[in-house]
């Protein structure tokens, strides 16, 4: 099946030229191309047109779940008849297994799994194995160990009405596929027996399959509602097709009996070897600890065919050698391309200036944690091979890529051999925002007056500060109507509704805040870094950047361009930079915005286009909310000191030596966070450094 794009729109502005160049590059086997697309220029639509033209399975990688969800919804709307999938980490909360030698603290792996995301992940891999017209929107978690696609494919159960197979055989196959039998309520990943039929709820679906058995064969296959179990469709009856159904495994890590026996044997052998090594080093406690842990896992594996943490033994099951790269979603993409005759797949790296640094840094962080666990006897050395891909391994597997960003970094431009396709013209004719530089003195009063102006016209405002404390204090100040009225010199028609947004606000709560801003429940949002969510807010007419001349990662050229771009979806879009001097970053950022605006104005003049605002409907939320105890949200660097947050740090109780060590570590982590565009985290670390120093 080909990709069929459904949209009421046709390419406009410079979209046709951008689409043409990208398609030509792919057909000429270009390994990389950069799409420099400004906010609101319809980059997603252009990419959809490219996919329709080149007819390749496509992997779209975003740097966070929220953006991935947004892209998934958009591509699902564009391709309603095709298999558009969503693949992100299924953890609402994830505390990885870790050990802190300094305090002899073992932190057990603790997770909260989102059942809906788990279903969507399994649906993604099923689609890749069964359909040629597949688009997968994923977060960077797609480069983590996933298990072999060949093993997953071999364990898929195909059932045909009339097939000579008994009930007991089907039940055995379901157990091997990690489905659990139940006699009570039927849940996803469960099956139960009811007289002459078996009901199974496939792990990747919303419906239940009822398998009706005759004496020696399958009599009927019926999809039923998962809530009231009423029949939805007798498979094949609508079109006279062969009555067939495919059930995918309930988990990604699987192994047949032979592979399992072989794996257990190899694990026992490596356990004996590693235990001997530890004892020879005088690490008797560590050897004993390892023996207890691994032997327990082997008992569970032998009895159940599965054990929590099985991914740490994955290389034994999928036949990899020590150090060999794991199987990831990328292998599923390649498997799809080969099985369906495409030979290759397309990769789109969204917000590449953020996403690529994240991918680069993921292996190093994982490696450091694993090495400590191995050294102190909590894991076998094979745990090293349960890991994300190294950047070099990732790059080798991506044959053709489009790097998408409004501010591409030099890195991806070089990867693309300098080939940059610009998409600066918005179909609506909207221009880059007007930029004004105003003095820092009196910036809060001036900002409040600007907010009031926009509020009275039904428009919204984004304001950025340098610290979490400043964001909260500014939000509280703006909420105080009496103080605001004193500043502006007249009485407000209604109080200003404001909310702050920073790293301590949970991801799903951030979505609620932004939805409230769009709906008018909130007039202004104050934050530190308003880039990370890829904000798509057509109601915002003003972006205010406080202390814009404080050179640093929050006020870099790229950060400033991206932040100012949040006002580019409104006809009256304006960016105000509060500064007492023009820094190099400010100058470069303003020059680039002005360059883009001139091109847009010339295009509008030539084609007699009058800019018009964007009307964008608000979608229902994609993911279910699962609350997590905030006490679990620890800054990892503080765990070894017994602190839950920067506010807990007791500087007076620390020795000068401890202060120095912690400060050095924090500076390193701050720089890493800034490099990966984790600006809220970097800012929190910076504030903590200042507190210690």
pLDDT, tens digit, for every residue of 289-337?
999 999 999 998 888 777 778 888 988 888 889 999 999 999 999 999 9
What's the whole-number average pLDDT of the chain? 86
pLDDT at 84 over 90: yes
Res 632: pLDDT = 38
Four-point Cα dihedral 10, 15, 20, 26, nearest 10: -110
pLDDT at 503 over 70: no
In the predicted model, what is the mean pLDDT of residues 559-563? 91
pLDDT at 103 over 80: yes
SS3 174: helix
What confidence category does residue 552 fall into, taking pLDDT thresholds of 50, 70 and 90? confident
pLDDT at 534 over 60: no
DSSP 493-531: SSPPPEEEE-TTS-HHHHHHHHHHHHHTS-SEEEES---
Res 233: pLDDT = 60
pLDDT, tens digit, for every residue of 250-280?
988 776 655 778 889 999 999 999 999 999 9
- Which stretch of 177-186, 237-246, 413-422, 678-687 has the lowest confidence by average pLDDT? 237-246
Res 627: pLDDT = 41
pLDDT at 631 over 70: no
In the predicted model, what is the mean pLDDT of residues 656-660? 67
Distance CA 468, CA 503 (A): 8
Res 18: pLDDT = 96
Distance CA 566, CA 543 (A): 7
Is 0.85 topped by the overall pTM?
no
In Å, how far are 210, 403, 426, 604 from 37, measured between CA atoms?
Answer: 49, 10, 9, 17
- CB-based burial, 144-164: b 16+ in 10 Å, e otherwise: bbbbbbebbbebebebbbeee
pLDDT at 242 over 60: no
pLDDT, tens digit, for every residue of 14-68?
999 999 999 999 999 999 999 999 888 889 999 999 999 999 999 999 988 878 9
Res 504: pLDDT = 63
E strand or H helix at 127? helix 115-130
Nearest to 337 by CA among 328, 348, 326, 346: 346
pLDDT at 626 over 60: no
Q: Considering the chain, what percentage of its residues have pLDDT values greater than 70?
A: 88
In the predicted model, what is the mean pLDDT of residues 333-354? 94
pLDDT at 669 over 80: no
Res 234: pLDDT = 59
Contact between residue 369 and residue 383 where contact means Cβ atoms under 8 Å apart: no
pLDDT, tens digit, for every residue of 466-491?
988 888 899 999 999 988 888 778 88
pLDDT at 100 over 90: no
Res 609: pLDDT = 92
Res 676: pLDDT = 62
Q: Tokens at residue 422, please?
A: 């610009």
| Alpha helices, H only, 541-648 | 557-564, 584-607
Distance CA 437, CA 594 (A): 14
- Which stretch of 360-369, 387-396, 627-636 has the lowest confidence by average pLDDT? 627-636
pLDDT at 634 over 90: no
Q: How many CA atoms lie within 13 A of 342 on its CB side?
A: 24
In the predicted model, what is the mean pLDDT of residues 9-16? 90
- Which stretch of 189-203, 321-335, 625-639 has the lowest confidence by average pLDDT? 625-639
Distance CA 45, CA 33 (A): 17
Four-point Cα dihedral 531, 533, 538, 543, nearest 10: -30
In the predicted model, what is the mean pLDDT of residues 392-410? 94
DSSP 626-684: ----GGG---GGGGGGT-SSGGG--GGGS-HHHHHHHHHHHHHHHHHHHHTT-HHHHHH
Residue 189: count of CB within 10 angstroms of its CB: 23
In the predicted model, what is the mean pLDDT of residues 556-585? 93
Res 628: pLDDT = 39
Distance CA 534, CA 530 (A): 8
Distance CA 339, CA 332 (A): 10
Q: Which residues pair with 302 in a beta bridge?
A: none
Res 458: pLDDT = 92
SS3 446: helix
Distance CA 192, CA 210 (A): 10
- CB-based burial, 15-39: b 16+ in 10 Å, e otherwise: beebbebbbebbeeebebbbbbbbb
Q: Considering the chain, what percentage of its residues have pLDDT values greater than 90?
A: 55
Q: What is the CA radius of gyration of the chain?
A: 28
Where is pLDDT greater, at 636 or 671? 671
Q: How far apart are the first and last CA of the chain?
A: 62
Residue 274: count of CB within 10 angstroms of its CB: 21
Specify the length of the chain in residues: 693
Please enumerate in sequence order all residues whose Cβ is within 8 A of that of 269, keeping only pairs 6 or more positions apart, or say none: none
């Amino acid at each position: 099946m080909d990709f069929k794009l459904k949209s009421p729109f046709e390419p406009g502005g410079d979209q046709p030229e951008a689409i043409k160049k990208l398609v030509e590059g792919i057909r000429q086997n270009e390994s990389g191309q950069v799409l420099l697309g400004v906010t609101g220029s319809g980059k997603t639509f252009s990419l959809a047109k490219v996919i329709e033209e080149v007819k390749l399975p496509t992997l779209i990688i975003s740097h966070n779940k929220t953006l991935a969800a947004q892209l998934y919804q958009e591509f699902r709307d564009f391709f309603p008849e095709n298999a558009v999938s969503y693949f992100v980490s299924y953890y609402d909360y994830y505390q990885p297994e870790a050990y802190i030698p300094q305090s002899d603290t073992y932190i057990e792996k603790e997770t909260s799994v989102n059942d809906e995301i788990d279903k969507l992940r399994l649906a993604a891999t099923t689609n890749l194995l069964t359909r040629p017209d597949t688009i997968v929107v994923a977060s960077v978690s797609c480069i983590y160990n996933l298990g072999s696609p060949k093993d997953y494919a071999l364990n898929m159960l195909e059932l045909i009405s009339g097939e000579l197979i008994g009930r007991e055989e089907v039940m055995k196959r379901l157990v091997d596929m990690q489905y659990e039998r139940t006699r009570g309520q039927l849940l996803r990943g469960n099956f139960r027996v009811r007289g002459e039929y078996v009901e199974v709820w496939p792990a990747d679906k919303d419906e239940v399959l009822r398998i009706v058995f005759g004496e020696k064969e399958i009599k009927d296959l019926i999809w039923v509602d998962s809530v009231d179990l009423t029949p939805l469709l007798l498979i094949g009856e609508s079109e006279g097709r062969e009555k067939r159904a495919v059930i995918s495994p309930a988990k990604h890590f699987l192994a047949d009996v032979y592979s399992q026996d072989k794996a257990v044997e190899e694990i026992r052998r490596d356990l004996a070897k590693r235990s001997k090594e530890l004892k020879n080093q005088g690490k008797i406690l560590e050897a004993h600890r390892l023996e207890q842990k691994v032997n327990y896992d082997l008992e569970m594996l032998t009895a159940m065919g599965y054990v929590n943490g099985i991914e740490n033994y994955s290389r034994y099951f999928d036949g990899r050698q020590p150090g060999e790269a794991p199987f990831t979603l990328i292998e599923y993409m390649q498997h799809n391309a080969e099985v369906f005759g495409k030979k290759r797949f397309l990769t789109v790296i969204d917000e590449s200036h953020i996403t690529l640094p994240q991918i680069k840094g993921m292996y190093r962080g994982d490696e450091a944690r694993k090495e400590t666990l191995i050294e102190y006897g909590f894991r076998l050395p094979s745990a090293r091979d349960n890991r994300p891909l190294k950047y070099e391994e990732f790059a080798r597997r991506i044959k053709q890529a489009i790097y998408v960003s409004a501010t591409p970094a030099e890195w991806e431009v070089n990867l693309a051999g300098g080939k940059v396709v610009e998409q600066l013209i918005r179909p609506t004719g909207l221009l880059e925002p007007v930029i004004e530089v105003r003095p820092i003195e009196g910036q809060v009063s001036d900002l409040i007056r600007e907010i009031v102006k926009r509020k009275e016209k039904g428009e919204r405002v984004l304001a950025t500060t340098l610290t979490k404390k400043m964001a909260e204090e500014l939000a509280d100040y703006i909420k105080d109507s009496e103080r605001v009225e004193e500043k502006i010199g007249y009485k407000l028609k209604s109080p200003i509704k404001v909310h702050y947004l920073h790293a301590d606000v949970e991801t799903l709560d951030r979505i609620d805040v932004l939805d409230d801003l769009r709906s008018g429940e909130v007039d202004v949002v104050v934050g530190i870094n308003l880039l990370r969510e890829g904000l798509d807010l057509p109601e915002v007419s003003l972006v205010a950047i406080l202390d814009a001349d404080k050179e640093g990662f929050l006020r870099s050229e790229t950060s400033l361009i991206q932040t100012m771009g949040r006002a580019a979806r409104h006809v009256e879009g304006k960016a105000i930079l509060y500064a007492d001097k023009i820094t190099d970053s400010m100058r470069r950022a303003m020059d680039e915005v002005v360059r883009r605006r001139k091109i847009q104005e010339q295009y509008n003049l030539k084609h007699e286009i009058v800019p018009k605002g964007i009307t964008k409907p608000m979608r229902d939320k994609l993911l279910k909310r699962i609350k997590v105890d905030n006490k679990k949200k620890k800054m990892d660097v503080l765990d070894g000191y017994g602190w839950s947050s920067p506010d807990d740090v007791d500087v007076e109780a620390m020795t000068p030596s401890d202060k120095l060590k912690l400060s050095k570590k924090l500076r390193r982590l701050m720089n890493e966070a800034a490099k990966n565009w984790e600006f809220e985290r970097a800012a929190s670390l910076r504030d903590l450094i200042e507190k210690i120093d």
